Amino acid sequence: MIRLRPHLRSLQSHVSSGQIPTREYLESFEPKSLRRLKVFNQTPPEDIRKTFFEKLTSHYSNPRSILSALFLSTWQLIFFQLFLPRHVPRMIFALSALEYRSWPLLTHLLELVQKHLKDWRISTISVMIGCLVKLGLDNIPNNSNLLPNVTSLLLNEVESRDPSYSSPFDWAILSYSLVLTNRYEWPNYENASLPVFLNRACKGLNLENLPLSGWTQYYLYISLYCTDVEKPRNEIQIKESVPPEIQQSLHTRWLNEILIHSQPQGSEMLQKDVDTVLEGLGNTEGLINCSVGRGDDEQHCLFTGHLFPNRKLCFEYNYLMPMPDGTPVESGLVSFRRRLFNKFGYNTVVIHRHQWEKLTILEKEEQLLQILSKFPIIESNLYESKPEAKTFEGSNYKYLKHLRPKITTWPPDKITL
Protein backbone atom coordinates (compact mmCIF):
# COMPACT_ATOMS: atom_id res chain seq x y z
CA MET A 1 0.00 0.00 0.00
CA ILE A 2 1.29 3.43 -0.99
CA ARG A 3 1.82 5.72 2.02
CA LEU A 4 0.32 9.17 1.70
CA ARG A 5 1.91 12.36 2.96
CA PRO A 6 0.30 13.92 6.06
CA HIS A 7 -1.28 16.81 4.18
CA LEU A 8 -2.68 14.39 1.54
CA ARG A 9 -4.12 12.17 4.27
CA SER A 10 -5.78 15.25 5.72
CA LEU A 11 -7.15 16.12 2.28
CA GLN A 12 -8.41 12.55 1.82
CA SER A 13 -10.27 12.71 5.13
CA HIS A 14 -11.95 15.95 4.08
CA VAL A 15 -12.89 14.44 0.70
CA SER A 16 -14.37 11.37 2.32
CA SER A 17 -16.44 13.56 4.62
CA GLY A 18 -17.51 15.81 1.76
CA GLN A 19 -16.14 18.94 3.43
CA ILE A 20 -13.12 20.56 1.75
CA PRO A 21 -12.28 23.98 3.21
CA THR A 22 -10.98 26.25 0.45
CA ARG A 23 -7.82 27.31 2.33
CA GLU A 24 -6.70 23.77 3.16
CA TYR A 25 -7.54 22.60 -0.33
CA LEU A 26 -5.34 25.25 -1.94
CA GLU A 27 -2.51 24.77 0.55
CA SER A 28 -2.40 21.06 -0.15
CA PHE A 29 -1.21 21.72 -3.72
CA GLU A 30 1.40 24.36 -2.79
CA PRO A 31 5.10 23.57 -2.45
CA LYS A 32 6.32 23.16 1.10
CA SER A 33 8.34 26.42 1.02
CA LEU A 34 5.31 28.44 -0.04
CA ARG A 35 3.02 26.84 2.51
CA ARG A 36 5.29 28.22 5.26
CA LEU A 37 5.26 31.74 3.81
CA LYS A 38 2.33 33.72 5.17
CA VAL A 39 2.14 37.39 4.29
CA PHE A 40 -0.24 38.09 7.15
CA ASN A 41 -0.98 35.76 10.02
CA GLN A 42 -3.81 38.03 11.02
CA THR A 43 -5.99 40.73 9.55
CA PRO A 44 -3.84 43.31 7.70
CA PRO A 45 -3.45 46.65 9.54
CA GLU A 46 -5.54 49.58 8.42
CA ASP A 47 -2.53 51.75 7.56
CA ILE A 48 -0.33 49.14 5.89
CA ARG A 49 2.11 51.76 4.59
CA LYS A 50 2.75 53.16 8.08
CA THR A 51 3.23 49.68 9.51
CA PHE A 52 5.75 48.81 6.80
CA PHE A 53 7.85 51.92 7.42
CA GLU A 54 7.77 51.39 11.19
CA LYS A 55 9.22 47.90 10.75
CA LEU A 56 11.75 49.21 8.26
CA THR A 57 12.82 51.96 10.66
CA SER A 58 13.23 49.57 13.58
CA HIS A 59 15.41 47.28 11.44
CA TYR A 60 17.63 49.94 9.90
CA SER A 61 18.09 51.93 13.13
CA ASN A 62 20.76 49.46 14.20
CA PRO A 63 24.05 51.45 13.94
CA ARG A 64 26.04 48.45 12.76
CA SER A 65 23.51 47.73 10.01
CA ILE A 66 23.72 51.34 8.84
CA LEU A 67 27.51 51.40 8.62
CA SER A 68 27.75 47.93 7.08
CA ALA A 69 25.31 48.98 4.37
CA LEU A 70 27.45 52.06 3.79
CA PHE A 71 30.77 50.26 3.44
CA LEU A 72 29.34 47.53 1.27
CA SER A 73 28.00 50.06 -1.21
CA THR A 74 30.48 52.95 -0.90
CA TRP A 75 33.87 51.45 -0.20
CA GLN A 76 35.84 54.33 -1.73
CA LEU A 77 35.84 58.02 -0.88
CA ILE A 78 34.79 58.99 -4.41
CA PHE A 79 31.45 57.27 -3.80
CA PHE A 80 30.58 59.67 -0.96
CA GLN A 81 28.99 61.88 -3.60
CA LEU A 82 26.29 59.23 -3.95
CA PHE A 83 24.92 60.06 -0.49
CA LEU A 84 21.52 61.66 -0.35
CA PRO A 85 20.56 64.26 2.30
CA ARG A 86 18.10 61.82 3.88
CA HIS A 87 21.02 59.46 4.65
CA VAL A 88 22.84 62.04 6.77
CA PRO A 89 20.95 61.86 10.11
CA ARG A 90 21.15 58.06 10.27
CA MET A 91 24.84 58.10 9.38
CA ILE A 92 25.66 60.67 12.08
CA PHE A 93 23.64 58.65 14.61
CA ALA A 94 25.49 55.45 13.67
CA LEU A 95 28.91 57.10 13.98
CA SER A 96 28.00 58.47 17.40
CA ALA A 97 26.52 55.21 18.70
CA LEU A 98 29.57 53.18 17.60
CA GLU A 99 32.06 55.89 18.68
CA TYR A 100 33.58 55.87 15.21
CA ARG A 101 34.81 59.27 14.03
CA SER A 102 35.80 59.12 10.34
CA TRP A 103 37.06 62.57 9.38
CA PRO A 104 36.62 62.24 5.57
CA LEU A 105 33.10 60.88 6.03
CA LEU A 106 32.15 63.54 8.59
CA THR A 107 33.43 66.28 6.33
CA HIS A 108 31.10 65.19 3.54
CA LEU A 109 28.15 64.65 5.89
CA LEU A 110 28.49 68.09 7.46
CA GLU A 111 28.62 69.69 4.02
CA LEU A 112 25.25 68.12 3.26
CA VAL A 113 23.92 69.35 6.62
CA GLN A 114 24.89 72.92 5.77
CA LYS A 115 23.46 72.78 2.26
CA HIS A 116 20.08 71.55 3.49
CA LEU A 117 19.92 73.48 6.76
CA LYS A 118 16.36 74.68 6.15
CA ASP A 119 15.04 71.22 5.28
CA TRP A 120 15.57 69.46 8.61
CA ARG A 121 12.77 69.08 11.17
CA ILE A 122 13.33 70.02 14.81
CA SER A 123 13.36 66.34 15.80
CA THR A 124 16.10 65.62 13.27
CA ILE A 125 18.13 68.69 14.19
CA SER A 126 18.01 67.90 17.91
CA VAL A 127 19.27 64.33 17.43
CA MET A 128 22.03 65.49 15.07
CA ILE A 129 23.16 68.11 17.60
CA GLY A 130 23.28 65.50 20.36
CA CYS A 131 25.29 63.10 18.18
CA LEU A 132 27.74 65.74 16.95
CA VAL A 133 28.36 66.91 20.52
CA LYS A 134 29.12 63.33 21.62
CA LEU A 135 31.51 62.96 18.68
CA GLY A 136 33.50 65.83 20.17
CA LEU A 137 33.31 68.29 17.28
CA ASP A 138 33.25 71.17 19.77
CA ASN A 139 36.65 70.02 21.08
CA ILE A 140 38.45 70.56 17.77
CA PRO A 141 41.08 73.32 18.15
CA ASN A 142 39.93 76.74 16.92
CA ASN A 143 42.93 77.11 14.63
CA SER A 144 41.95 73.96 12.73
CA ASN A 145 39.91 74.31 9.55
CA LEU A 146 39.19 70.59 9.42
CA LEU A 147 35.44 70.75 10.14
CA PRO A 148 33.03 73.68 10.31
CA ASN A 149 31.23 74.50 13.56
CA VAL A 150 27.93 72.99 12.50
CA THR A 151 26.63 72.70 16.07
CA SER A 152 26.21 76.46 16.40
CA LEU A 153 24.53 76.65 12.99
CA LEU A 154 22.01 73.97 13.96
CA LEU A 155 21.31 75.65 17.32
CA ASN A 156 20.65 78.94 15.54
CA GLU A 157 18.32 77.12 13.18
CA VAL A 158 16.35 75.68 16.13
CA GLU A 159 15.80 79.21 17.45
CA SER A 160 14.02 80.19 14.23
CA ARG A 161 11.64 77.19 14.13
CA ASP A 162 8.08 76.82 15.35
CA PRO A 163 8.22 74.80 18.61
CA SER A 164 4.74 73.33 18.13
CA TYR A 165 6.07 70.59 15.83
CA SER A 166 8.28 68.92 18.44
CA SER A 167 8.28 66.57 21.42
CA PRO A 168 9.63 66.83 25.00
CA PHE A 169 12.53 64.57 24.02
CA ASP A 170 13.69 67.04 21.37
CA TRP A 171 14.02 69.89 23.86
CA ALA A 172 15.50 67.64 26.54
CA ILE A 173 18.35 66.45 24.31
CA LEU A 174 18.94 70.04 23.17
CA SER A 175 19.21 71.12 26.82
CA TYR A 176 21.56 68.23 27.54
CA SER A 177 23.75 69.19 24.57
CA LEU A 178 24.01 72.78 25.81
CA VAL A 179 25.11 71.50 29.22
CA LEU A 180 27.69 69.10 27.72
CA THR A 181 29.31 71.96 25.82
CA ASN A 182 29.12 74.45 28.70
CA ARG A 183 26.63 76.66 26.85
CA TYR A 184 24.54 77.60 29.87
CA GLU A 185 24.31 81.22 28.71
CA TRP A 186 24.17 80.62 24.98
CA PRO A 187 23.74 82.74 22.90
CA ASN A 188 23.95 85.44 25.62
CA TYR A 189 23.02 85.92 29.25
CA GLU A 190 19.90 88.03 28.59
CA ASN A 191 18.41 85.60 26.04
CA ALA A 192 19.78 82.24 27.18
CA SER A 193 18.23 79.26 25.39
CA LEU A 194 18.70 76.63 28.11
CA PRO A 195 15.83 77.80 30.37
CA VAL A 196 13.56 78.04 27.31
CA PHE A 197 14.43 74.54 26.12
CA LEU A 198 13.88 73.03 29.58
CA ASN A 199 10.53 74.79 29.90
CA ARG A 200 9.41 73.43 26.52
CA ALA A 201 10.57 69.93 27.47
CA CYS A 202 8.38 69.99 30.57
CA LYS A 203 5.23 71.25 28.85
CA GLY A 204 4.23 67.80 27.65
CA LEU A 205 5.22 66.04 30.89
CA ASN A 206 3.36 65.33 34.10
CA LEU A 207 3.79 63.00 37.07
CA GLU A 208 1.98 60.22 35.21
CA ASN A 209 3.93 60.12 31.93
CA LEU A 210 7.30 61.27 33.34
CA PRO A 211 8.37 57.75 34.45
CA LEU A 212 7.60 56.53 30.91
CA SER A 213 9.59 59.26 29.14
CA GLY A 214 12.83 57.24 28.90
CA TRP A 215 15.94 59.31 28.20
CA THR A 216 14.01 62.55 28.57
CA GLN A 217 13.98 62.30 32.36
CA TYR A 218 17.71 61.46 32.40
CA TYR A 219 18.58 64.53 30.33
CA LEU A 220 16.42 66.77 32.51
CA TYR A 221 17.96 65.68 35.80
CA ILE A 222 21.55 65.80 34.53
CA SER A 223 20.92 69.34 33.25
CA LEU A 224 19.60 70.42 36.64
CA TYR A 225 22.39 68.68 38.56
CA CYS A 226 25.17 70.18 36.45
CA THR A 227 23.59 73.60 36.81
CA ASP A 228 23.73 73.19 40.59
CA VAL A 229 27.39 72.11 40.40
CA GLU A 230 28.75 74.70 37.95
CA LYS A 231 26.45 77.55 39.06
CA PRO A 232 26.25 79.73 35.93
CA ARG A 233 24.94 83.27 36.22
CA ASN A 234 21.48 82.21 35.08
CA GLU A 235 21.26 79.32 37.58
CA ILE A 236 17.98 80.55 39.08
CA GLN A 237 16.29 80.90 35.69
CA ILE A 238 17.38 77.39 34.67
CA LYS A 239 16.02 75.78 37.85
CA GLU A 240 12.77 77.73 37.73
CA SER A 241 12.11 76.48 34.20
CA VAL A 242 11.42 72.96 35.55
CA PRO A 243 8.30 72.64 37.77
CA PRO A 244 9.05 71.68 41.41
CA GLU A 245 6.89 68.54 41.26
CA ILE A 246 8.87 67.24 38.29
CA GLN A 247 12.15 68.03 40.05
CA GLN A 248 10.97 66.12 43.10
CA SER A 249 9.94 63.10 41.03
CA LEU A 250 13.29 63.06 39.22
CA HIS A 251 15.27 63.36 42.44
CA THR A 252 13.44 60.65 44.39
CA ARG A 253 13.46 58.17 41.47
CA TRP A 254 17.00 58.87 40.24
CA LEU A 255 18.92 55.90 41.65
CA ASN A 256 16.40 53.08 41.41
CA GLU A 257 14.45 53.98 38.27
CA ILE A 258 16.49 56.32 36.05
CA LEU A 259 20.23 55.93 36.53
CA ILE A 260 20.16 52.13 36.65
CA HIS A 261 18.73 52.03 33.11
CA SER A 262 20.93 54.77 31.63
CA GLN A 263 24.34 53.79 33.01
CA PRO A 264 26.17 51.25 30.77
CA GLN A 265 26.93 47.97 32.50
CA GLY A 266 30.14 45.96 32.20
CA SER A 267 33.66 46.90 31.19
CA GLU A 268 35.17 48.16 27.94
CA MET A 269 38.18 46.62 26.19
CA LEU A 270 40.54 49.57 26.76
CA GLN A 271 39.36 49.86 30.34
CA LYS A 272 39.97 46.16 30.99
CA ASP A 273 43.43 46.37 29.39
CA VAL A 274 44.45 49.23 31.70
CA ASP A 275 43.03 47.32 34.67
CA THR A 276 45.10 44.26 33.73
CA VAL A 277 48.29 46.35 33.56
CA LEU A 278 47.48 47.89 36.96
CA GLU A 279 47.05 44.41 38.45
CA GLY A 280 50.41 43.41 36.97
CA LEU A 281 51.98 46.37 38.77
CA GLY A 282 50.39 45.25 42.02
CA ASN A 283 48.14 48.30 42.19
CA THR A 284 44.70 47.35 43.47
CA GLU A 285 43.45 50.76 44.59
CA GLY A 286 41.82 51.59 41.25
CA LEU A 287 38.05 51.16 41.38
CA ILE A 288 36.53 50.35 38.00
CA ASN A 289 33.26 52.05 36.94
CA CYS A 290 32.97 53.96 40.19
CA SER A 291 30.63 56.91 40.79
CA VAL A 292 32.04 60.37 41.43
CA GLY A 293 30.38 63.39 42.98
CA ARG A 294 30.63 66.13 45.56
CA GLY A 295 31.51 65.12 49.08
CA ASP A 296 28.08 65.95 50.47
CA ASP A 297 25.97 64.76 47.53
CA GLU A 298 23.08 62.54 48.56
CA GLN A 299 23.38 60.59 45.31
CA HIS A 300 25.90 60.58 42.48
CA CYS A 301 25.13 61.15 38.81
CA LEU A 302 28.41 60.49 36.98
CA PHE A 303 30.74 57.51 36.70
CA THR A 304 34.41 57.29 35.76
CA GLY A 305 36.39 54.51 34.13
CA HIS A 306 38.83 54.14 37.04
CA LEU A 307 38.76 55.99 40.34
CA PHE A 308 41.71 56.29 42.72
CA PRO A 309 40.04 57.78 45.79
CA ASN A 310 43.26 58.04 47.83
CA ARG A 311 44.85 60.08 45.06
CA LYS A 312 41.77 62.08 44.03
CA LEU A 313 42.40 60.81 40.49
CA CYS A 314 40.10 59.62 37.69
CA PHE A 315 40.92 57.74 34.50
CA GLU A 316 38.77 58.43 31.43
CA TYR A 317 38.99 56.58 28.11
CA ASN A 318 38.66 58.12 24.66
CA TYR A 319 37.93 55.70 21.82
CA LEU A 320 37.51 58.20 18.98
CA MET A 321 40.02 58.56 16.17
CA PRO A 322 42.46 61.50 16.29
CA MET A 323 42.72 64.27 13.73
CA PRO A 324 44.55 63.43 10.50
CA ASP A 325 47.73 65.00 11.91
CA GLY A 326 47.55 62.72 14.96
CA THR A 327 46.24 65.31 17.44
CA PRO A 328 43.89 63.58 19.92
CA VAL A 329 40.40 65.03 20.25
CA GLU A 330 38.28 63.99 23.22
CA SER A 331 34.71 62.87 22.83
CA GLY A 332 31.98 65.15 24.12
CA LEU A 333 31.17 62.95 27.12
CA VAL A 334 34.84 62.62 28.14
CA SER A 335 35.44 66.38 28.07
CA PHE A 336 32.16 66.94 29.94
CA ARG A 337 33.04 64.49 32.71
CA ARG A 338 36.57 65.91 32.98
CA ARG A 339 35.09 69.38 33.46
CA LEU A 340 32.69 68.17 36.16
CA PHE A 341 35.29 66.03 37.94
CA ASN A 342 37.51 69.08 38.30
CA LYS A 343 34.58 70.83 39.97
CA PHE A 344 34.36 67.89 42.38
CA GLY A 345 38.04 68.29 43.28
CA TYR A 346 39.39 65.36 41.24
CA ASN A 347 42.18 65.31 38.68
CA THR A 348 41.43 63.55 35.41
CA VAL A 349 43.74 61.63 33.07
CA VAL A 350 42.42 60.81 29.60
CA ILE A 351 43.83 57.69 27.91
CA HIS A 352 43.41 57.69 24.12
CA ARG A 353 42.99 54.32 22.44
CA HIS A 354 44.98 55.17 19.30
CA GLN A 355 48.02 55.98 21.48
CA TRP A 356 47.60 53.21 24.05
CA GLU A 357 47.35 50.40 21.48
CA LYS A 358 50.73 51.30 19.98
CA LEU A 359 52.57 50.71 23.29
CA THR A 360 54.19 47.49 24.44
CA ILE A 361 53.47 46.00 27.85
CA LEU A 362 56.59 47.56 29.33
CA GLU A 363 55.73 50.97 27.87
CA LYS A 364 52.18 50.73 29.24
CA GLU A 365 53.51 49.96 32.71
CA GLU A 366 55.96 52.83 32.46
CA GLN A 367 53.23 55.26 31.44
CA LEU A 368 50.95 54.25 34.33
CA LEU A 369 53.79 54.44 36.85
CA GLN A 370 54.65 57.91 35.61
CA ILE A 371 51.01 59.04 35.89
CA LEU A 372 50.58 57.64 39.40
CA SER A 373 53.83 59.23 40.53
CA LYS A 374 52.49 62.67 39.63
CA PHE A 375 49.42 62.11 41.83
CA PRO A 376 50.74 60.69 45.13
CA ILE A 377 48.54 59.28 47.84
CA ILE A 378 47.05 61.99 50.02
CA GLU A 379 48.16 61.85 53.64
CA SER A 380 45.76 60.29 56.12
CA ASN A 381 45.37 63.49 58.13
CA LEU A 382 43.98 65.16 55.02
CA TYR A 383 42.08 62.25 53.56
CA GLU A 384 40.90 59.12 55.33
CA SER A 385 41.96 56.27 53.04
CA LYS A 386 39.82 53.69 54.86
CA PRO A 387 36.76 55.47 56.18
CA GLU A 388 34.52 53.68 58.60
CA ALA A 389 31.15 52.46 57.49
CA LYS A 390 28.56 55.21 57.66
CA THR A 391 25.67 54.77 60.03
CA PHE A 392 22.29 55.85 58.77
CA GLU A 393 20.53 56.07 62.12
CA GLY A 394 18.55 59.24 62.53
CA SER A 395 18.85 60.13 58.85
CA ASN A 396 16.24 60.26 56.15
CA TYR A 397 17.52 57.22 54.26
CA LYS A 398 15.72 53.92 54.06
CA TYR A 399 18.92 51.91 54.16
CA LEU A 400 19.80 48.25 54.10
CA LYS A 401 23.25 46.93 53.32
CA HIS A 402 22.14 44.85 50.37
CA LEU A 403 19.80 47.48 48.89
CA ARG A 404 20.29 50.87 47.32
CA PRO A 405 19.50 53.83 49.55
CA LYS A 406 16.19 55.43 48.71
CA ILE A 407 15.85 59.20 48.83
CA THR A 408 12.70 60.31 50.63
CA THR A 409 13.35 63.95 51.50
CA TRP A 410 12.52 66.98 49.42
CA PRO A 411 14.07 69.39 48.85
CA PRO A 412 17.53 67.86 49.35
CA ASP A 413 19.94 69.53 51.72
CA LYS A 414 22.63 70.04 49.10
CA ILE A 415 20.75 71.15 46.00
CA THR A 416 19.29 74.62 46.21
CA LEU A 417 16.04 75.31 44.40
Q: What is the pLDDT of residues 189-233, one digit of tens each?
A: 999 999 999 999 999 899 999 999 999 999 999 999 999 999 999
Q: What is the 3-state secondary structure (H, E, C) of the chain?
A: CCCCCHHHHHHHHHHHHCCCCHHHHHHCCCCHHHHHCCCCCCCCCCCHHHHHHHHHHHHHCCHHHHHHHHHHHCCCHHHHHHCCHHHHHHHHHHHHHCCCCCHHHHHHHHHHHHHCHHHCCHHHHHHHHHHHHHCCHHHCCCCCCCCCCHHHHHHHHHHCCCCCCCCHHHHHHHHHHHHHCCCCCCCCCCCCHHHHHHHHHHHCCCCCCHHHCCHHHHHHHHHHHHHHHHCCCCHHHHHHCCCHHHHHHHHHHHHHHHHHHHCCCCCCHHHHHHHHHHHHCCCCCCEEEEEECCCCCCCCCEEEEEEECCCCEEEEEECCCCCCCCCCCCCHHHHHHHHHHHHHCCEEEEEEHHHHCCCCHHHHHHHHHHHHHHCCCCCCCCCCCCCCCCCCCCCCEECCCCCCCEECCCCCCCCCC
Domain-ending residue, one of 204, 234, 262? 262
Q: Is pLDDT of 143 > 70?
A: no
Name the pTM for this structure: 0.78
Q: Do 201 and 157 share a structural domain?
A: yes
Answer yes or no: is 58 within a domain: yes
Q: Do 179 and 300 share a structural domain?
A: no
Q: Do 199 and 281 share a structural domain?
A: no
Answer yes or no: is 348 within a domain: yes
Answer yes or no: is 332 within a domain: yes
Q: Do 217 and 173 share a structural domain?
A: yes
Average the pLDDT over each of 76-90, 115-129, 266-280, 334-348 and give the range with the smallest value.
76-90
Number of domains in the chain: 3
Domain-ending residue, one of 233, 262, 291? 262
For 84-125, the pLDDT digits (tens) are: 888 889 889 988 988 889 888 888 899 999 999 999 999 999
Q: Is pLDDT of 397 > 50?
A: no
Answer yes or no: is 42 within a domain: no
Domain-ending residue, one of 262, 278, 293? 262
Q: Do 311 and 185 share a structural domain?
A: no
Q: Do 246 and 371 share a structural domain?
A: no
- pLDDT at 401 (0 to 100): 42
